[in-house]
Amino acid sequence: MKRDASTLLSRPYEQHRRIEFEHQLARIRICYTVFCLTILFAALEHLEISLGALILFTSTALLYGLFRYFKPTSVPEDKRLPLAIDFLDLLFIAVLIYITGGIKSFFLVAYALPIYGDIIMFGLQAGMFDYAIALGITGLMYFINTDGPSAPLLFHLIAGAGTLAFAAWIVGFLAEKDWKLRDEIYLSSITDHQSGLYNSSYLRARIGEEIERCSREGTGFALSFIDLDHFKLVNDQHGHLVGDRVLKQIADLLTENIRKSDVLARYGGDEFVLLMPGTGTEQAEKVMRRIKNAVAASAFLENIKIGLSSGMAFFPEDGDSLDKLLTAADERMYKKKKHDSTVSYPGGRTGYQQSI
């Protein structure tokens, strides 16, 4: 179902991004205003404007920039008000162009900044509207013959290069945010949010890649299916909130005891899968012993002890496809898993027996 813009803007994250960009535009606006006014004072002897009028214009421009920077930012559903406020940017630039020579002004290119900002904030239609206003103002200046004295070429070069730099600032900020958003979306798509580990979708894709690589190179890898023993009792006795936090602690502990080249994922519930590229039987068993010993020696929230069972499969001995390898590891894990039993620990701790 297609959603309109107002529905999209109601999302908190979208609001946050737009407000953040609006605030950045306000910061750029102040810096660009200072840049323009500095050039204006430097070129004063080439302009037909009094010092008093220039000071009045400068004060007004700075107050406007500070107002836009410090005013509360929001994303209203009605775009007409912010667009009307942004019209003041065009008005400021029009006055700047008028007092610096009209159609001979070195600030004609300055219209690009508010136009580009409105395209980003409100879409192409708003930007084209601003563009039409800028063309109209420029045409009006031409027909009323506001072509005052022209400043030296140096001022044109400085104003043009400076405006380009500020436009690049806007583009760079937007690009940085977009890349960051893409990274966040990608990370979210491959991560299990509860444990912080990779999710099963990423795991299956990664195993598929490893199968293709090892098939080409004639090498192998190990796969371990890990299941926590009687984890349901943790949820039943301590509640699901404690269970979720214990699960995260276990995920962190597992991560600390694997190699950097290994890939650990939460497969579902209290099940994990560990992919160990380039690993044979002896090395894989060494990794799993280290993991089991670390889990057995640790006490989690509420002084809970946790055990785990695991089963391993090896490529290509146990299968040449993802499903065959996962099935083989899963079956071996269940063969090792013992019947539910509770173990007592000194100090009144409760625990869940580990299958080795």
DSSP string, 57-102: HHHHHHHHHHHHHHSPP---S--HHHHHHHHHHHHHHHHHHHHTTG
What are the counts of helices (DSSP H) followed by strands (DSSP E) for the chain?
12, 6
Does residue 6 have a pLDDT over 50? no
Position with higher pLDDT, 301 vs 137? 137
Does residue 346 have a pLDDT over 50? no
* 143 and 220 both lie in a single domain: no
* 176 and 96 both lie in a single domain: yes
The mean pLDDT value for 58-80 works out to 74
Position with higher pLDDT, 108 vs 6? 108
Domain end point (choices 122, 155, 190): 190
CA distances from 97 to 130, 142, 159, 160, 316 (A): 16, 12, 12, 13, 74
Task: Give the number of other Cβ atoms within 10 Å of residue 321's Cβ.
Answer: 13
Domain end point (choices 190, 217, 237): 190
pLDDT in the model for residue 70: 83
Domain contains 172? yes
* 246 and 339 both lie in a single domain: yes
Domain end point (choices 157, 190, 223): 190
- Which of the residue ranges 144-148, 175-179, 218-222 would you say has the lowest mean pLDDT? 144-148
pLDDT digits (tens, 9 = 90+) for 13-57: 566 677 777 888 888 889 998 999 899 888 888 888 888 888 898
Q: What angle do CA 271, 276, 282 make, to 5 degrees?
A: 105
Domain contains 174? yes
**Local confidence band at 203 (pLDDT 50, 70, 90 cut-offs):** very high
Query: At 201, which amino acid appears?
Result: S
* 210 and 295 both lie in a single domain: yes
* 15 and 127 both lie in a single domain: yes
Does residue 341 have a pLDDT over 50? no
**Local confidence band at 255 (pLDDT 50, 70, 90 cut-offs):** very high
Domain contains 11? yes
Domain contains 210? yes
* 13 and 145 both lie in a single domain: yes
* 133 and 268 both lie in a single domain: no
Domain contains 195? no
* 234 and 331 both lie in a single domain: yes
* 10 and 154 both lie in a single domain: yes
> What's the total number of domains in the chain?
2
Range of the domain at 86: 5-190
The mean pLDDT value for 112-118 works out to 85
Q: What does residue 344 show for φ and ψ, rounded to 5 degrees?
A: -95, 145
**Local confidence band at 185 (pLDDT 50, 70, 90 cut-offs):** confident
Gap between the Cα atoms of 355 and 292, Å rounded? 9
CA distances from 164 to 34, 40, 190, 276, 334 (A): 15, 17, 39, 51, 65
* 183 and 288 both lie in a single domain: no
Residue 306 belongs to a domain with what CATH number? 3.30.70.270
The mean pLDDT value for 121-141 works out to 86
* 21 and 167 both lie in a single domain: yes
Domain contains 19? yes
Domain contains 110? yes
pLDDT in the model for residue 113: 87
**Local confidence band at 149 (pLDDT 50, 70, 90 cut-offs):** low
- Which of the residue ranges 10-14, 114-118, 245-249, 275-279 would you say has the lowest mean pLDDT? 10-14
125 token code pair: 């239609």
Domain contains 205? yes
* 208 and 321 both lie in a single domain: yes
